[in-house]
Amino acid sequence: PEITRPEMVLARTVHAAFHKAAHYLGIKTVVTDIDPRTFRTDVEAMRAAITPNTILLVASAPCYSQGVIDPIAAVGKLAQERNVLFHVDACVGGLHLSYLRKLGTELPDFDFTIPGVTSISVDLHKYGYAAKGASVVLYRNKDLRKYQIFACTDTTAYTLINPTVLSSKSGGPMAGAWAILNYLGDEGYMRMIQTVQEATRRLTDAINAIPGLRVLGQPDMCMFSFTSDRINVYQLADEMHKRGWYLQGQFSTPQTPRNLHISVNFGTIHQVEAMLADLGACMAIVQAQPLDTRAIRDLVKQFLSNPSPQAFQGLAQMAGIAGTDLPEEMAVINEVLDALPDEMANMVLIDYFNDLYV
């Protein structure tokens, strides 16, 4: 009750969903640095960020962007020392990492075996291979879970009691999740996860062997990102898109370069060699016809030095984000958004989507 401006401390690699929740709930996000070599949470930076207003620490198992597990045990110890709640985002890793351990892979603890962990989220619709809309949040005890449940008898209508934010919820995704969990079972999941990990290792080894490309960090599971100091990776993503591949662009931060993300799953492992062949070919194309990244960033700097509605409109047109149709190639758009301050880039995206279908 004495905290009127609650704060959530989370590393730069924590998923944007937590920023979204904080925006809706009026919680201040305090973003902390990561280790720029391993891309894992810097526990001492998190320690320094805790204030009397801190109500929650958040870490990832793994983080989506680079697929690495944060030092959950160290953060859990910190949470106990400072008497704050600690949530582990295991949405992508909860099932996959658990089965990796059953297969004999050595992984750091990330669950309730760590005393300081108070809640864990796991998406069954990711590496549980269920249909979208099936997720769970686990609490260390029912005393914590109680605060999630809402009841209301204060109206003339029926009594309402909801265990989640979503009120009306379809049973379809839950039934589908139950079906796939029982159909695959432990043996099915372990067989799939082993082959997915083998495909991931093949991809990361091959990408690291391509001159000018390098995987960021040491991924703990089947998702990773890679960058380049020779080419614009957004342009590489465009060339791959022309051949039917989707490589997800991730903007640079003060601690990470612009990069491309890949998530490997059981439905795509048979395409590894074809993808690597196209990646090599597209790399050669981009090297021969490089995007003038410096010119784009110089234009963005000019706009930032003297911002005006007219200058912004010109910048948007150059980026291809005017009107309702996006261009076939996204490299220029991504480069412009990457060069803008985060607050301004967010404003551009919100305004663009707000103007659609008006």
What is the pLDDT tens value at each position of the chain, 358 positions in all?
689 999 999 999 999 999 999 999 999 999 999 999 999 999 999 999 999 999 999 999 999 999 999 999 999 999 999 999 999 999 999 999 999 999 999 999 999 999 999 999 999 999 999 999 999 999 999 999 999 999 999 999 999 999 998 888 889 999 999 999 999 999 999 999 999 999 999 999 999 999 999 999 999 999 999 999 999 999 999 999 999 999 999 999 999 999 999 999 999 999 999 999 999 999 999 999 999 999 888 888 888 887 777 777 777 777 776 666 777 889 999 999 999 999 988 988 888 888 877 7
Residue 283 near residue 247 (C-beta atoms within 8 A): no
Q: 138 vs 91, 111, 118, 146, 167, CA distance in Å?
A: 11, 10, 8, 12, 19
Extract the runs of DSSP E, i.e. beta strands, from 118-244. 119-123, 135-139, 150-152, 160-162, 213-215, 223-228
User: What backbone torsions phi and psi does residue 35 show, to the nearest 5 degrees?
Assistant: -75, 115
d(CA 299, CA 307): 11
Q: 171 vs 163, 174, 175, 349, CA distance in Å?
A: 14, 5, 6, 33
SS3 305: helix
d(CA 74, CA 76): 5
| pTM, two decimal places | 0.94
Which residue from 333, 349, 336, 341 is spatially nearest to 254, judged by alpha carbons?
Answer: 341
For residue 23, give the H/E element and its range: helix 16-25
Taking the CB of residue 37, how many other CB atoms lie within 10 A of it? 10
CATH number among 3.30.70.2740, 1.10.150.120, 3.90.1150.10, 3.20.190.10, domain 189-288: 3.90.1150.10
d(CA 310, CA 99): 55
Asked if domains 7-147 and 189-288 share a fold, the reply is: no
Residue ranges covered by each domain of the chain: 7-147, 189-288, 293-355
CATH-assigned architecture of domain 7-147? 3-Layer(aba) Sandwich (3.40)
User: What backbone torsions phi and psi does residue 105 show, to the nearest 5 degrees?
Assistant: -75, 130
Task: Give Cα 289 to chain centroid, integer Å.
Answer: 31
Residue 344 near residue 336 (C-beta atoms within 8 A): no
pLDDT at position 73: 98
pLDDT at position 322: 65
